[in-house]
Amino acid sequence: MFQGDAEAAMDFYSTLFAEATIDEIERYQEGELGKPGSVKRAVFSIGDQSLVLIDSAVRHDFTFTPSFSLFVECDSEEQLAWLFAQLSEEGRVFMPLGTYGFSRQFAWVADRFGVSWQLNLA
């Protein structure tokens, strides 16, 4: 649930993942509770994983939390490092790119929209 940034987030994620698609998008219309033109409901996919995104029609004081993360298995160290750089820019790093006991290369970040991503070298 975004607060006006759902479409910008989907556009950003589409630049990061070649297999990303916006499968459906419904926008708020004049007279509806949300801001006209903003995302009422969208289905966004990265590979086989589909996500539903919305722009909340109601302002609220909470945002995304790292208790829920999208987990990405990267095929190469280069891909992992590139995704880490892109997703952490203007975001927050929870665990820097490094070698941990459970993974050869791993990082955990929140992107500029507050969405949490765990990146792992497959």
Q: Where in the chain is the domain with CATH 3.30.720.100?
A: 6-53
pLDDT above 90 (res 122): no
Token pair recorded at residue 69: 């993360």
Q: What is the DSSP secondary structure assignment for residue 11, as one 8-state letter?
A: H
Average pLDDT over residues 102-111: 96
Taking a C-beta distance cutoff of 8 angstroms, is the pair 55, 5 a contact? Answer: yes
The alpha carbon dihedral of 74, 53, 14, 111 has a sign of negative
Q: Please answer whether residues 116 and 63 qualify as being in contact, where contact means their C-beta atoms are separated by less than 8 angstroms.
A: no
Positive or negative: CA dihedral 71, 116, 22, 18 = negative
Q: What is the pLDDT of residues 64-93, one digit of tens each?
A: 999 999 999 999 999 999 999 999 999 999
Amino acid at 91: G
CATH label, 6-53, candidates 3.30.70.980, 3.30.720.100, 3.90.950.20, 2.60.120.10: 3.30.720.100
69-121 CATH: 3.30.720.110
Q: What is the DSSP pairing of strand 20-27 with strand 103-110?
A: unpaired
Residues of the chain with CATH 3.30.720.110: 69-121
- State the average pLDDT for the chain: 96
Contacts of 23-29 with C-beta under 8 Å, sequence gap 24+, read 23/50, 28/55, 28/57
